[in-house]
Amino acid sequence: MNGAEILIDVLINEGVDTVFGYPGGSVIPIFDVLYRTDTIRFILTRHEQGATHAADGYARATGKVGVCIVTSGPGATNTITGIATAKMDSVPIIVISGQVAAGNIGTDAFQETDMVGLTRSICKHNYLVKNVEELPRILKEAFFIARTGRPGPVAVDIPVNVSNSILANYQYPKDVSLPGYKPVTNGNQKQIEKLARAINEAKRPLLYTGGGIISASASQELLALLDKTNIPIVVTLMGLGAIPADYPTFLGMPGMHGTMAANLALTECDLLIGIGVRFDDRITGKAEHFATQATVAHIDIDPAEISKVIKAHIPVVGDAKKILRELIDKVKPRPRDDWNSRTQSWKDQFPMTYNQANESSILPQYVIDRLNVLAPDNSIIVTDVGQHQMWAAHFYRHRRPRAFLSSGGLGTMGFGLPAALGAAIGCPGQTVITISGDGSIQMNIQELATCAINDISVKVIILNNSYLGMVRQWQELFWDRRYSHTCLKRVSTCPPVCPGPNANCPSDYIPDFVKIAKANHIPGLRATKPSEVDAVLKEGLNQPGPVVMEFIVKSIENVFPMIPPGKPISAIIPGRPA
Amino acid sequence: MIEKHTIIVTVTNRVGILARITGLLAQRGYNIESAIAAPTEDPDIYKIILVVMETDENIEQITKQLNKLIDTIKVIDISHRDNYIVREYIILKVGITPRTRAEVLDLIRVFEARLIDLATDHLIVELTGHVRKIDRFIELLKPFGIKEFVRSGEFAMTEYN
C-alpha cells in the first residue's frame, strides 16, 4: 500500500465516516484513493477554513474526531483559524495537510509552507511525516492524542512523496507508545474527600461548569449531584446544554455578558466548585476581585489549568465524569436553604428580558425567543460570534449537551455556517440551525453552496442589524459613540463622522442575503416587522433542505447585562440607562 | 519575586522538540537566560536544561505547560533543591600586557582553570565549575580587559541514583 492508501485505511479503521476538505497539488494521491473509496463520505467545502470548521462542528455535535484534508501552502494556511478555534475550545479534530516532496522542503518550493511551525502554538500536537514507515504510527498517535485527555486539534503534514511511497508490510498499530503523554483520569482520593467535606460544610456553595462537562459526557453525573445537593449553578457558554436551562437552581451564564444572578452568586459564594472550566477573563473580569469570599475548588483534566488564573485551594485533576461519580457518593444531601432563596430572588429580580411590544422594529431577542418555541426539541443551535451569540446563549432554552455549538475561546466570526454544516452531516435527523449576524455570515458565506449542492439541511438565521454589533456596542458604551468602521451599511457618500442610524442612511443593505440564498438555489426569506417573525421561522423550519432566514432587527440594540472589560463584577451594567 | 530558576526537561528525542519548548516560552512571554539541549545515556531521551528568570507563580505555570507537551517526559525545577550538581563551562579571551601577564596567570592557577592559548597580547582560558565560580572568575578578570567569552549555560544532574 502507498501512503495515501494507508491514510484512508487508517481513517476507516478509526471509524471516520466523513471527511471535509479541498484538493490541491500535493494531496492528489490522497484524493485519488478517496475517489475509489465508498466507506468515507467526502464533503468538498468551498474554502479550507470552512472544511476545518465543518470538521470542528462535526466533532462538537457527535463527540467523535472530525477530519479534514487540505493541500499544502495556501490550503494549509487557510486552516489556521479553524485549528486555533478548535484548540481554544478543546475540540478533537485532525487536520491532514499535504506538503511538497520531502526533498524539496526548505527550498521555498511552490506551495511550500512550514505547517508544523505555523501550527505549533495552536494545536495540541503536530507532525511532519518524514517517510512512509512512520506514517501508521503517527496517524495512530494523532487520533489518540486528539481524543484523549483534554481533547484538541492535531495537525499532520504529509509530503506528497510519502503519499506515493509504498510500505511493504503495512499494519495499523494496535497501541501507542507515548512516554510523555499519560493523561490522569482518576481523581486523587484525598482531594475528592476534601472537596466533599468542603461541600458538606459550605454555607453558600456554587457550581461553575463549562465545556469540560460536555467533553467528558458528564451531564448525567452533574444532574445527579445537583439533585442530591440543590447547589446553585452557573454554566459557561461552552457548557450550555449540560443541564436543562429550566433546571431550578440554574442561574444562567456568568461573566461579561452573564446574568445578574450568576454574577452576584459568584461574588457572594463561599465555595466555588469549577468543573471543566478555565476561569477565562470573560468570566472572571478583573481576577483579583473574582469570588473573593470563596474557597475555590477546581476539577479539570488539564493540570495546567489549575491555578492558572485563579488560585485553586482544592484542585482535583482528572476526568469530570469519574470524579463526579465519586463525589456524589461522598456528599451529604443538602436541602434547599436561605442561599437557594437568595439566588432565586436574584433570578426573579433580574430576569433576562426585552420589550418587543414597545418596538416597531424586530428585536433580536424576540427572534430567538420565538425560535425557542418553534424549533423542534432535537435542534442543534450553532452560532457565530458577536451580539447574536450572546442572545442565543441567553434566550434559547438549552435542553441537552452537544446541542449548542459556539466559538467560545477564539471568538471566530465565520464559524457558524461551516460548523453547522458539519453538525448536520454528523447528526442526520436533527434540525441544525445556525444563528448568525450580518457581519459573521459574510465571513464564510461561500459554504451556502456546499449546503445546497450536498443537500445539507442547515437553517441559517441572519439577525441583520447592519452593524458589527458587539464592537459597536463597545464603541457606544466606552468610546463615546465613535462608530468607527462598524457600520456595514456605510457607503462612500456618508459623512465622515456618523452618530448612528439616521434618516439619511442608505436604504439598501449590500449584499442582499435573500438573493445570495437564491443564487445558491436555497430559499431565502426575510422578515422586517415583528409580525412577520413567526411566519418566516415556521416557513424556514418546515423547508426540507437548507434555507436562509434574514431578520432585519433593531440596529442599536445592546447585550445586557454587561461587565465593562477589565472591571470587577460589581461594575456590572444591568441594562441601558433609561 | 523574580528569581533564577533552572529547569531540567527530559524529552523524547523527536524532531522539533527544542522549537516546541523555546516556542512555548516565547509564546507566553517568558525570557530564556540559557538553554542546553543534549543527548543522554539513552539515545531516545534528550535533556534540555533551561535557565529562566521568573516569579515562582510563573515558573509553576511554565513547568505545567512544559509538562503538557506530548514529547515531554519529566520537568523539574531544581532551583530550590540542593541535591543537584550544577555546572557551567566557559571559554574566555582576556587581554594581557607584559606587566599584567603574571597576575592573570596567577588567577588562572587559583581557579584551577586551564590555559588553552597564550599570545603576546591575549590568552584564552577554559573553566568548568559552579555558576557562582564562573561569575567570580569573570568579575576578577574584567579589569584586565575581557575581549570575548562564551558560556555554556547551566547543566545539572541529581546526586542520587
Size of interface A-B (CB pairs under 8 A): 40
Q: Which residues of B touch A312 (CB under 8 A)?
A: none
Q: Nearest Cα to A49, choosing from A521, A422, A388? A: A422
Instruction: Name the minimum distance, in Å, from the CA of A556 to any CA of chain B.
Output: 37
Would the CB atoms of A179 and B24 count as touching at under 8 Å?
A: no
Please report the residues numbered 78 through 137 in chain B whose beta carbons come closer than 8 angstroms to any beta carbon of chain A. none
Would the CB atoms of A302 and B68 count as touching at under 8 Å?
A: yes
Cα-based distances in Å from B109 to B86, B103, B115, B131 = 22, 10, 9, 18
Instruction: Name the minimum distance, in Å, from the CA of A172 to any CA of chain B.
Output: 21
Q: Where in chain A is the domain with CATH 3.40.50.1220?
A: 189-349
Q: How many residues does chain B have?
A: 161
Question: Cell 492528489 belongs to which residue?
Answer: A28
Question: Cell 466507506 belongs to which residue?
Answer: A39
φ/ψ region of A165 (left if φ > 0, alpha if ψ in -120 to 50, else beta) reads beta
CB-based contact (8 Å) between B61 and chain A? yes
Does one domain contain both B90 and B67? no
Q: The domain A189-349 is classified under which CATH number: 1.20.140.10, 3.40.50.1220, 3.40.50.720, 3.40.640.10?
A: 3.40.50.1220
What does each of the 161 residues of chain B score in pLDDT, given as a tens digit? 889 999 999 999 988 899 999 999 988 888 889 999 989 999 999 999 999 999 988 899 999 999 999 999 999 999 888 788 999 999 999 999 999 999 999 999 999 999 999 999 999 999 999 999 999 999 999 999 999 999 999 888 888 87
Cα-based distances in Å from A114 to A2, A73, A97, A155 = 24, 8, 11, 12
Instruction: Name the minimum distance, in Å, from the CA of A139 to any CA of chain B.
Output: 15
Does one domain contain both B72 and B128? no
Distance of alpha carbon A165 from alpha carbon A158, whole angstroms = 11
Q: Which residues of A touch B69 (CB under 8 A)?
A: 180
Question: Which of the listed residues B77, B101, B128 is the one where a domain comes to its end?
Answer: B77
Distance of alpha carbon A76 from alpha carbon B124, whole angstroms = 50
Q: Which of B12, B16, B65 sits opposite A116 (nearest CB)?
A: B16
Instruction: Name the minimum distance, in Å, from the CA of A560 to any CA of chain B.
Output: 33
Q: Give the range of the structural domain holding residue B22, as residue numbers without chain letter.
A: 3-77
Would the CB atoms of A180 and B71 count as touching at under 8 Å?
A: yes
Q: Which residues of B touch A121 (CB under 8 A)?
A: 23-24, 27
Chain centroid, CA A232 distance in Å:
24
Helix (H, G, I), strand (E, B) or coil at A536: helix
Would the CB atoms of B70 and A178 count as touching at under 8 Å?
A: yes
Instruction: Name the minimum distance, in Å, from the CA of A296 to any CA of chain B.
Output: 17
Q: Nearest Cα to A97, choosing from A149, A145, A55? A: A55
Would the CB atoms of B61 and A178 count as touching at under 8 Å?
A: no
Domain count of the fold of chain B = 2
Distance of alpha carbon B125 from alpha carbon B144, whole angstroms = 14
Contact between A256 and A562 under an 8 Å Cβ cutoff? The reply is yes
Does one domain contain both B89 and B62? no
Distance of alpha carbon A98 from alpha carbon A95, whole angstroms = 10
Would you call A459 exposed, middle or buried from its count of C-beta atoms within 10 A (0-12, 13-18, 19+)? buried
Instruction: Name the minimum distance, in Å, from the CA of B137 to any CA of chain A.
Output: 39
Task: Assign domain A356-552 to a CATH class.
Answer: alpha beta
Residues (pLDDT < 50) of chain A are 578
Q: Which of A116, A145, A304 sits opposite B70 (nearest CB)?
A: A145
Q: Which of B23, B60, B70 sits opposite A180 (nearest CB)?
A: B70
Q: How would DSSP label each residue in B24-92?
A: HHHHTTPPEEEEEEEE-SSTTEEEEEEEEEE-HHHHHHHHHHHHHSTTEEEEEE-TT-SSEEEEEEEEE
Q: Which of B16, B27, B64 sits opposite A304 (nearest CB)?
A: B64
Please name the fold of domain A3-164. Answer: Rossmann fold (3.40.50)
Cell of A31: 484524493
CATH number at residue B124: 3.30.70.1150
Would the CB atoms of A303 and B73 count as touching at under 8 Å?
A: no
> For an interface test with B, which of A119, A130, A300, A308 has the most B Cβ atoms less than 10 Å from its Cβ?
A308
Q: How would DSSP label each residue in A11-51?
A: HHHTT--EEEE---GGGHHHHHHHHT-SSSEEEE-SSHHHH
Kindly list the strands in the beta sheet with B45-54, ordered across the sheet, starting from the edge strand earlier in the chain.
B32-39, B45-54, B3-12, B72-77
Contact between A265 and A200 under an 8 Å Cβ cutoff? The reply is no
Q: What phi and psi values does residue B77 have, to the nearest 5 degrees?
A: -95, 110
Q: Which residues of B touch A154 (CB under 8 A)?
A: none
CATH number at residue B17: 3.30.70.260
Q: Where in chain A is the domain with CATH 3.40.50.970?
A: 3-164, 356-552
Instruction: Name the minimum distance, in Å, from the CA of B43 to any CA of chain A.
Output: 14
Would the CB atoms of A121 and B27 count as touching at under 8 Å?
A: yes
Question: Which of the listed residues B77, B107, B136 is the one where a domain comes to its end?
Answer: B77
Does one domain contain both B62 and B93? no
- What does the pLDDT read at residue B83? 86
Would the CB atoms of B71 and A120 count as touching at under 8 Å?
A: no
- What does the pLDDT read at residue A568? 85
Distance of alpha carbon A488 from alpha carbon A117, whole angstroms = 36
